[in-house]
């Protein structure tokens, strides 16, 4: 691969990173706090690409005819490296969904602040994250959830027995380390809803639990009273 090809690939790759970083597309790959680092990386790649292309043209202009006659070119197949970069620019892959959730075991919801959980905000229903709900349900025995109407948002995935579950992918850093948090659904659960459909369920806590067959982790349940389909949120990961 000659310098010009390298410069073009760097330019497209840096442009793809910048495009994702200045929109919400990057949220499908990494956590929100990494945006400044992605922008800095994209700028550095674009700068390096421009310098590489400039030096390539300068060397071509300063070389003699004899130099051109003896110039060695890399194999043309090197240009194929542009194809995956163009894929990043032109095709926006979906966020991790039910397939990834079914392949991995549910994350362990860690207790927060020992056994003392802060009271929920006033007003019903209270919007809770799936990790927060699971943690309060499993480690606080649902005491901080008792008597409150709750609302959870996630995508539908299917348990091994065919029943619907609510899930959301949890990232430590990026999509490569994503693990699901899964919540079982009782009551008026959304039956026959396609996997990966995003829904908001409203209901109350239930003490029922089960085990995730993938890694034998405790899974909390939620008693659904009503539900509605919603658009995928800007930040799909927990």
SS3 content of the chain, % helix, strand, coil (to 5): 40, 25, 35
Q: Distance of alpha carbon 58 from its chain centroid, rounded?
A: 43
The CATH class for the domain spanning 98-229 reads: mainly beta
Q: Count of CB atoms within 10 A of residue 163's CB?
A: 13
Structure tokens at 26: 């990057």
Query: pLDDT at position 26, please?
Result: 79
Could you state, in chain order, the average pLDDT of each consecutive group of 10 residues for the chain (238 residues)? 77 84 80 85 89 84 60 57 68 81 82 71 93 91 92 93 92 82 95 94 95 91 97 88
Residue spans per domain, the chain: 3-90, 98-229
N-to-C CA span, the chain: 41
DSSP state of 140: S
Residue 133: both structure tokens together: 């709900």
- Give the per-residue pLDDT at 6: 79
For residues 96 and 182, give the distance between their C-alpha atoms in angstroms, rounded to a whole number. Answer: 14
What is the reported pLDDT for 136? 92
């Amino acid at each position: 691969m000659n310098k010009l090809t390298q410069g073009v690939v760097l330019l497209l790759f840096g442009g793809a990173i910048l495009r994702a970083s200045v929109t919400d597309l990057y949220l499908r790959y990494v956590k929100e706090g990494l945006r400044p680092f992605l922008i800095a990386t994209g700028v550095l790649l674009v700068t390096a690409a421009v310098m590489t292309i400039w030096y390539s043209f300068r060397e071509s202009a300063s070389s003699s005819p004899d130099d051109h006659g003896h110039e060695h070119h890399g194999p043309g197949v090197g240009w194929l490296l542009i194809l995956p970069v163009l894929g990043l620019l032109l095709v926006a892959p979906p966020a991790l969904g039910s397939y990834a959730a079914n392949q991995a075991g549910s994350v362990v919801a860690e207790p927060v602040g020992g056994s003392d959980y802060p009271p929920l905000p006033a007003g019903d229903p209270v919007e809770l994250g799936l990790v927060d709900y699971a943690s309060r349900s499993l480690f606080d025995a649902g005491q901080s959830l008792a008597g409150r109407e709750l609302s959870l948002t996630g995508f539908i995935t299917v348990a091994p027995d065919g029943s619907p579950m609510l899930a959301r992918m949890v990232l430590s850093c990026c999509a490569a380390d994503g693990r699901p948090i899964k919540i079982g659904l009782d009551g008026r659960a959304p039956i026959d809803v396609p996997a990966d459909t995003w829904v908001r369920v409203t209901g109350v806590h239930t003490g029922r639990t089960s085990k995730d067959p993938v890694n034998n982790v405790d899974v909390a349940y939620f008693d659904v009273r009503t539900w509605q389909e919603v658009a995928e949120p800007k930040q799909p990961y927990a």
